[in-house]
Structure 1
Amino acid sequence: MSNTLLVASLTLRNAYLLMRHGHSEANRQGRIISSPARGIDSFGLSARGKQEVAETLSVWRWARPTRVVHSDFLRTTQTAARVAEYFGVAPTPDAGLRERGFGELDGGEDTRYADAWARDAKDASHENFGVESVDTVAERMIEVMRRLERRHEGEVVLLVSHGDPLQILLAALAGVDLRHHRDRPPLQPAEVVSVL
């Protein structure tokens, strides 16, 4: 897929911040939790993750968000709720920001991420192990931004999502070949980056 085509129709009238959720129970247990069946009601923030979010807020150096939009998984919902409360805005869930689906790897050890990422480096459209392809993740993440662009103008939008989807989105926005989305250092738990 051409990243040029992917982002060509994306004319930005808003500013965007991207935030990865804080350290989660899934991280603590070393498990891949990518399905809505497991992730929406379970595997929220760990005690460490709650502290990470609080630390990020205590040293906030980015623009003040006027909108907080988040994945509906528990770990991102809890992260977004803390940020939204801090800034006095209402958080809005959006399923388009969900974790990348890892198919048959879901529920297993997080060391298996490397198996999917090795395939990603060869083919961004692969669905080995039943994983959601990198191309598909990029399309749905960009679509979230397109919807926000149609509805709002002049806002500072904080998107709270997961490590892999955010890394893929950053690659897409930068025009990087999506097979190389792992070349960029991954966002750390509760890390925020500004884009565009």
Structure 2
Amino acid sequence: MAIDIQTAPSPWRNRYLLMRHGHSQANAAGLIISSPERGIENFGLSEYGEQQLAQRMTDWQWPAPTRVVHSDFLRTTQTAARVAAAFGLVPSVDMRLRERYFGELEGQGDDGYPRIWAFDAQNAEHQYHQVEAVSAVATRMRAAIDDWEQRVSGETIVLVSHGDPLQILLTALAGKPLSQHREQAALLPASITLIGP
């Protein structure tokens, strides 16, 4: 999937491959794992996720990356390691790419997501149930890209993150209201979205 971002303030200096981590143990268990305390050392890739990534590397159809940057959660770290190894790269961590924090829903069933998304659709600033505001996620995700835009040019950078943060980022880059982030096409595990030139 490629997306043309019309609202970029200037021509992109780099290409970005926005990658959601492979299917995880949290996905398999139907759990919301959004806190560093749980997510950094636990809930890595599921067996199915490992298979997804092996297939993704075999069928790679995007530009070859020159950098791989990832959230420090185990599922994104493992995903980034597979991609980096396939291209002879050393991955690096950027905590701004972390999962959106779901506050009081942490560790509960993933059937709680729609309730938060309904609040999101009304107000991108809300923090009901101590959830991280959509606007805060957009700010940190955009800052991660802006930093690379200022530091390097002509690179292809894989950013390995999580479903909600990536959908929020794509909504922000498209210049749409952040409250509409769930109207963005769902990003499946191990999916890749190309942005930039």
Using the size of structure 1 for normalisation, the TM-score is 0.94
Partner in structure 2 of residue 92 of structure 1: 92
- Structure 1 residue 69 corresponds to structure 2 residue 66: no
- Structure 1 residue 48 corresponds to structure 2 residue 48: yes
Identity %: 56
**Root-mean-square deviation (Å):** 1.2
Instruction: Give distance in 2, aligned partners of 1:10 and 1:54.
Output: 36
Instruction: Give distance in 1, aligned partners of 2:41 and 2:130.
Output: 22
Measured against aligned partners, the alpha-carbon deviations of 1:140-172 in whole angstroms (never above 9, x if no partner) come to 000001111122111000100000000001111
Partner in structure 2 of residue 134 of structure 1: 134
2:8 touches 2:173 (CA, 8 Å); kept in 1?
no
- Structure 1 residue 82 corresponds to structure 2 residue 82: yes
Instruction: Give distance in 2, aligned partners of 1:181 and 1:55.
Output: 28
| Matched ranges for 1:7-26 at <5 A | 12-26=12-26
Partner in structure 1 of residue 4 of structure 2: none
Instruction: Give distance in 2, aligned partners of 1:64 and 1:178.
Output: 31
Report how many aligned residue pairs link the two structures.
190
Query: 2:190 aligns to what SS in structure 1?
Result: coil
1:10 to partner: Cα distance: 6.6
1:10 touches 1:146 (CA, 8 Å); kept in 2?
no
| Matched ranges for 1:82-161 at <5 A | 82-161=82-161
Instruction: Give distance in 2, aligned partners of 1:104 and 1:57.
Output: 36
- Structure 1 residue 38 corresponds to structure 2 residue 38: yes
Query: 1:141 aligns to what SS in structure 2?
Result: helix
Instruction: Give distance in 2, aligned partners of 1:53 and 1:63.
Output: 17
1:24 touches 1:44 (CA, 8 Å); kept in 2?
yes
1:12 to partner: Cα distance: 2.5
Instruction: Give distance in 1, aligned partners of 2:136 and 2:56.
Output: 30
- Gap regions ≥5 residues in structure 2: 1-6
Instruction: Give distance in 2, aligned partners of 1:11 and 1:63.
Output: 18
Query: 1:61 aligns to what SS in structure 2?
Result: coil
Instruction: Give distance in 1, aligned partners of 2:135 and 2:11.
Output: 20
- Gap regions ≥5 residues in structure 1: 1-6
1:13 to partner: Cα distance: 0.9
1:8 to partner: Cα distance: 6.2
Instruction: Give distance in 2, aligned partners of 1:143 and 1:10.
Output: 15
Using the size of structure 2 for normalisation, the TM-score is 0.94
